[in-house]
Copies of this chain bind each other. A is one copy, B any other.
Amino acid sequence: MIRVAILGATGYTALELIRILLRNPQVQITAATTRQEGSPHISSIHQSLTGRLDLCCEDLTVPQIIERADFAFCCLPHAASAAVISELLDGGLRVVDLSADYRLNDPATYEKWYKVTHPDPDRMAKTVYGLPELYGERIPGEQLIANPGCYTSTSILALAPLLAAKLIEPTGIIIDAKSGVSGAGRSAKQNILFAECNESFSAYGVGGHRHQPEIEQVLSDVSGEPVDVVFTPHLVPMDRGILATIYARPTSDVSSEDVLNVMREFYSGKPFVRVVDHLPATKDVSGTNYCHITARRTKGYVTVLSVLDNLIKGASGVAVQNFNLMAGFPETTGLDPA
Contact = CB atoms under 8 A, between A and B. Distances in A.
Interface of A: 12, 22-23, 44, 47-53, 171-172, 174, 176, 178, 180-182, 184, 186-190, 192-204, 206-207, 228, 230, 232, 234, 236-241, 243, 245, 247, 274, 276, 278-288, 290, 292, 296-301, 303, 305, 307, 336-338
A186 B307 CA distance: 23
B188 A234 contact: no
Given A51-B338, A174-B301, A194-B239, 7 more contacts: A192-B193, A192-B194, A194-B194, A198-B237, A202-B283, A230-B301, A237-B238
Contacts of A203: 243, 245, 279, 305
Contact of A176 (B198, B200, B245): B245
A279 B336 contact: no
A279 B338 contact: no
A100 B309 CA distance: 35
Contacts of A204: 279
Contact of A241 (B181, B190, B192, B200): B200
Given A195-B239, A198-B238, A188 B186 contact: no
Contacts of A184: 195
A50 B194 contact: no
Given A181-B194, A193-B188, A202 B279 contact: yes
Ordered nearest first, which 6 A-B pairs have the shortest CB separation?
A52-B338, A200-B283, A202-B281, A207-B298, A181-B194, A188-B188
Contact of A296 (B180, B206, B296, B336): B206
A201 B238 contact: yes
15 contacts: A48-B285, A51-B290, A180-B199, A181-B198, A186-B193, A192-B194, A194-B194, A195-B240, A199-B199, A200-B238, A201-B238, A201-B281, A206-B296, A228-B300, A236-B237
Given A200-B281, A200-B283, A278-B47, A298 B206 contact: yes
Nearest to A197: B194
A279 B205 CA distance: 9
B48 A283 contact: yes
Nearest to A189: B188
A127 B184 CA distance: 45
Contacts of A180: 195, 199, 201
A303 B201 contact: no
Contacts of A44: 278
A52 B52 CA distance: 28
